[in-house]
Amino acid sequence: MGSSANRTEIIKRRYERIAKYYDLMESLMESSGGKRWRKMLWSEVSGNTILEAGIGTGSNILYYPEGKNIYGIDFSPKMVEISKDKAKRYGKNVDIRVMDIENLEFNDSTFDAIVTSCVFCSVPDPIKGLKELKRVLKNDGKLFMLEHVRSKKLILGTLMDILNPLTVNTWGANINRDTVKNLKISGFKILKEENLALDIMKLIIAGK
């Protein structure tokens, strides 16, 4: 697919194309556990300055804690506009910006906590993206993730490998990423790993 920059542009265009349909596409996951998982994710989050990396259409905004300095970034301008509208609707004060997770425009050690949900299936270079998150996270900060990953079960994992080219070419999402392994490669320490749906959907907490 070419360089990381080219891959990012290709995937961004795919998300721009589906932005107005994205919530509808996600509705099945939301009704079958997604809302509960998001609430669980945010119940774990602590700290005063928080970044949601990959805010998308703002599915997590409803669960943001009050009285915190919260930033949200996404590389899709159309999704950012939708998330800004949701923040206004829910009465949440959020600084939402168009930004690439692989090239964050924040200083080192800015955030007490960083949150992602179903993001690292789409980051073209997940190691680069994770290292950027590690850079802007404070030394005692934590990364909170709700992510779907490749199953370790032989049949299910193989099926995910077979279907992956279809999902990547349709909307840019890899369904067979090993995000726990990528976290370790990027220098994070796994503090918690909890399976929420088989071994595909996980709640992960990591530190520096």
| Confidence check: pLDDT of 124 > 70 | yes
Provide the pLDDT for residue 196.
Answer: 95
- Residues near 88 by beta carbon (within 8 Å), at least 6 away in sequence: none
**Whole-number CA gyration radius for the chain:** 16
Q: The pTM is what? A: 0.87
- The confidence score (pLDDT) of residue 179 equals 96
Q: In which residue are the tokens 């804690």 written?
A: 65
Number of structural domains (the chain) is 1
Length of the chain: 208
Q: Is the pLDDT of residue 132 over 90?
A: yes
Region 159-179 average pLDDT: 86
Domain span holding position 27: 4-207
Look up the CATH number of the domain holding residue 83. Answer: 3.40.50.150
Average pLDDT over residues 64-88: 94
What 3-state DSSP class applies to 64? coil
Quote the mean pLDDT of the chain. Answer: 89
Q: Average the pLDDT over each of 31-45, 50-64, 97-111, 142-156 and give the range with the smallest value.
A: 31-45
Full DSSP string of 158-196: HHHHHHHHHHHHHHS--S---HHHHHHHTT-EEEEEEEE
User: Which of 65-102 are b and which e, b meaning 16 or more Cβ less than 10 Å from the residue's Cβ?
Assistant: eeebebbbbbbbebbbebbbebbeeeebebebeebbbb
